[in-house]
Amino acid sequence: MATEKIKRPLIAHFLDTTQAEEYSAAEWKRLGVNVSEASTEYNPQTETEQDIVSDSATTEVTGYQPTMPVSQTCTKGDPVYEFITKLRRSRATMAECHTWMLNVDLWDVTEETKYAAEVQEVAVQVDTYGGAGGEAPVQEFTLNFAGDPVPGKVTMAEGVPTFTADVSE
């Protein structure tokens, strides 16, 4: 099998801008308008031990604390920007800043028109708003992953994803 580089637009991120109680009721809006970079930082949690008979220590990965920092140029009319602005203006905390995130690997076709995906609850942390004179202002925020993801598949229709969770065996 030949290798092939993946284009960045094929890794898609969507936010529920309605803050639905359940992801099945989410209204997904694509994150990315006037965003030049967004990457999940997995932030592995580790534990290192060295016993008294070994010259080298052993490090185990004990968990993850994923986040996604985002810097978005202020974009009136973009539903994600306007959703984050609403959270910023209310200085939302705790449950008020939680929503759902859908990550879709559009390059990973699992069946005809179905893509590998996961839904993740996130806490939205607004970091900065503004910028330097003479430049377009930016709004920076961090999506803090809460709990474990729900793996599944997505079908796309006119740019709108529909998520179906994988069935546990």
Distance CA 12, CA 26 (A): 16
Q: Are 107 and 35 in contact (CB under 8 A)?
A: no
pLDDT above 90: percentage of residues in the chain = 94
CB atoms within 10 A of CB 110: 14
Listed by start position, the domains of the chain span 9-41+63-165
Please write the tens of the pLDDT for every residue from 18-48.
999 999 999 999 999 999 999 999 999 999 9
Please write the tens of the pLDDT for every residue from 59-74.
999 999 999 999 999 9
